[in-house]
Structure 1
Amino acid sequence: MTLDQIEAQMKSRAINFTGLGALVKFDFGGGEALFIDGHSMPPAISRTGGTPDTTLTISAENLVKLAEGKLAPTLAFMTGKLKVSGNMGIALKLANMLED
């Protein structure tokens, strides 16, 4: 799945991130990233953003698996497929939103 497709899919599900209350960066490496701005209503999905509260480093492939429920966020973190920097509480909140 391309970054454009991932972005479109996240935008179609943006309402799921209501209540996040933070700026989260998904870092795919190679300068590619997506941001969820949970401060706005509905949450905004974009490729640019300010300083994130939490950065999640993950491959695009594994993010798709997370979104499809084929990879549990906790398992991804424990196996090193997902790395978190910044506020861990926000990452846990986001994980719960992805699992719903």
Structure 2
Amino acid sequence: MATLQEITDRVKQAVGTDSGLGKSLKFDLKGDGFIHIDGGEVSNDDKPADLTMTISLADLLEMGQGKLDATMAFMSGRLKLSDMGLAMSLQPKMSALFAKMA
């Protein structure tokens, strides 16, 4: 399985100079660390974000590979969202970002 650093590097490549999200996003990887995206900045800092997605590193990898659907992950409790409305509005942009990470 990929390490936090490898995933962070993939996210940095996918984000480039601007994530295109227009909001900050944090992945809380349930004890395996954090990935914080704000514009073109990607870090492993546990900073406040407009949207926090709590998901295991393994499940994040599966989502990035298209093996785990975000809706199914949410419905089954494998994905928790701090703001459902914001997550829904960002979903197309996040899908595009995940596609670049694959």
Both proteins in one fold, TM over 0.5 = yes
Alignment of 1:1-100 (within 5 A): 1-15=2-16, 17-18=19-20, 20-30=21-31, 32-37=33-38, 40=39, 43-48=40-45, 50-85=47-82, 87-100=83-96
Identity %: 36
Distance 1:45 1:92 in 2: 22
Structure 2: stretches of 5+ with no match in the other structure = 97-102
* Higher strand residue share: 1
Q: What is the aligned residue count?
A: 94
Distance 2:95 2:64 in 1: 8
Letter in 2 for 1:71: L
Letter in 2 for 1:32: G
Distance change in 2, residues 1:94/1:68 (3 Å): farther
Instruction: With the length of structure 1 as denominator, give the TM-score of the two structures.
Output: 0.80
Moved more, 54-63 or 26-35: 26-35
Tell me how large the CA RMSD over aligned residues is.
1.9
Letter in 1 for 2:95: E
